[in-house]
Amino acid sequence: MRGAPKAGAGAIALARRCIRPYRRAMRVGIQAWGSDGDIRPLLALGGALVSAGHDVRMVASSADDTDYSALAARLRVPLTMVPERMNAPLGEIAARAGGGSNQFKLMREVLAAAFYPHLDAMYAAALELCRTSDVVVGHFAAWFVRVAAWKTGARLATFVPWPGMVPTGDEPPVWFPRIPGLTRAQWRLVTALAGVMCKKGANELLRREGLPPVRVAIPDLLLSDGLNLLAASPALWPRASDWDERHQVCGAFELPEDSEPWQPPPDLSAFLESGAPPVFLSFGSSEQVDPARSRELLVEGARRAGVRAVIQLKSERRAEGHRDGQLYFLPRAPHTRLFPRCSFVVHHGGAGTSHTVARAGVPSVAVYFSDEQRSWGDRLAKHGLAPPPLSYFRTDPDAVAARIRAGLGAPEMSARAAAMAARMRGENGPAAATNLLETWVEKAAE
C-alpha cells in the first residue's frame, strides 16, 4: 500500500503558503464521469495544477453532454471528451425509471444509458493516462480508472465530492438514524448496496484484464488505498476522528472567478438594484429530471412566498433573461457572482452549490433529489445556515414558500451564515489538493 502524506499542519495550511518550495513538475492525468457537479471541480483542480507548473491532461465523460471546451481552454487544461456525446437525456432516463424518486432504479438507468455503453472507450482512455502520468486523479464514480491503475501499476488518487461515502464510526450513513453500537453494521450494509451498482461490471472487466475480483466496492473499488481528496470544506464537514491519513479534507474545488467571464444583462442589473435583495432559486442539473415540475416548484414557491426572486431555469431556451413582475428569469449565471447579492437561496443540495451558498454567507434551503443532496441540506441545517431540507418528490410550492419565509424571518440564521462565510474565506481546495499530490509523489521518489 502506498502511503499518503500525513496531515501535519493540514491541507488548508499547505494551501496558504506564501512561498512555494521548488518542486519537480509532475505529469498528472485527471479523469471524470458524471454531470456538471462532477466535472467542473476536476477542471478547477486541473487549472490549479497547471498554474503550479505541472503537465496536466484531463479526460471527461459528460452524462448530460455539456461542452467544457471553452472553460478548459481558459484554465489551460488539455481536455478530451470520451465519448464526444452520450446522447442520454436525463429527463428521458428519469421517465424510464418512473420519475426518478427511486434512486437505485434511476441510477441503474443512468448507468445503462450513459456509462456501460461507453465503458470500453473510457477504460482505454484511463489506461493511456495511467501509462503516461506520474499520478492520476480519478473521480469516485469512475471505477474503471481504478482498474486501469491496477493494470498498469499507476499511482492513483481519488476525488471524492461527498465525504458521506467514506465510512466512519463517528456517524451513520445518510440513510440511517444514529443508533449506538450499530454504526459499523449500518456502514457494512451501505457498502454492500454500493457494490450492487457497480461490482458486477467491475469484476467482469477485472476478469477480462486478468486481475482478481473485488470483494466490496467501498473501499476496494471506489476509494484509493493511497490518497483520497475529499472536496469539502472542513468548516462544513470536519474530518472524522477515525479516518486515517489517506483521507484528506481539502476544501471545495471551486473554479477561479475569472475563469468564467460574465456580466449581468442590463435588465438583471436594473432588477437587482430596484429593490431589496432577491431570493435566488435553481435546481441546477437536477432540473433535467422533470423540467415542468421543477419550474412549478420554483416559480410558484417564489410567488406564494411573495418575494422578489431570480429564478434560473436551464431548460428554458432563452439566450438572455426576462422579467415577469417580481420575478426575473435567466438560463445561466455564475452562482459565485449572484449569491452574495441575494437574501436567500433555494437549491438542490449539490455539493458545489452548497459550498457556494455557504461561502457567500447567505442562508438557504435544499430541495433534494438524492440522498447525497439531502446530506448536504442536512449539513447546512446542522450548522444553523438553513431550515430542514425538503424532498423534491414529496414537497409542493406551499412548502417551498414556507421555507423561504422561515429563512427570511430568521436574522440569527443570516448571522450564522455570515460567520460561516468568514470561516471558509481562506480555503482553497484545488491549491490544497495540489500540495497533497506534490508531497505524495515526492515522497514516493525518495
CA distance 13 to 427: 9
Q: In this model, does residue 16 exceed pLDDT 70?
A: no
Q: Determine the pLDDT at residue 14.
A: 44
DSSP string, 25-82: PPEEEEEEEESHHHHHHHHHHHHHHHHTT-EEEEEEEETT----HHHHHHHT--EEES
Between residues 414 and 93, the one the model is more confident about: 414
How far apart CA 133 and CA 96 sit, in angstroms, is 40
pLDDT band at 3 (very low <50, low <70, confident <90, very high): very low
Domain 11-252+427-445: which topology? Rossmann fold (3.40.50)
Domain 11-252+427-445 shares a fold with domain 258-424: yes
Tell me what pLDDT residue 319 has. Answer: 60
Q: pLDDT over 90 for what percent of the chain?
A: 75
Cα separation, 269 vs 222, in Å, equals 44
Residue 383 has pLDDT above 60, yes or no: yes
Residues 171, 190 contacting (CB under 8 angstroms): no
> pLDDT tens digits for 275-305?
999 999 999 989 989 999 999 999 999 999 9
Question: Cell triple for residue 189?
Answer: 450494509
Highest mean pLDDT among 11-20, 171-180, 181-190, 408-417: 408-417
pLDDT digits (tens, 9 = 90+) for 210-232: 999 998 889 899 999 999 999 99
- How many other C-beta atoms can be found within 10 angstroms of the C-beta atom of residue 203? 18
Query: Among candidates 9, 148, 218, 17, which has minimal Cα distance to 137?
Result: 148
Categorize the per-residue pLDDT at 22 as very low, low, confident or very high, splitting at 50, 70 and 90: low
pTM: 0.91
Domains of the chain, by residue range, sit at 11-252+427-445, 258-424
Query: Would you say residue 6 has pLDDT above 50?
Result: no
The correct answer on CATH 3.30.465.10 for the domain covering 258-424 is no
The average pLDDT across 17-46 equals 85
Banded model confidence at residue 349, pLDDT cuts 50, 70, 90 = very high
For 85-110, how does the pLDDT look when each residue is reduced to its tens digit (9 = 90+)?
998 888 888 888 888 888 888 888 99
What is the torsional sign of CA 359, 363, 369, 370? positive
Residue pair 154/148 in contact by the 8 Å Cβ criterion: yes
Rounded mean pLDDT of the chain?
91
pLDDT band for position 202 (50/70/90)? very high
Is 418's pLDDT higher than 70?
Answer: yes
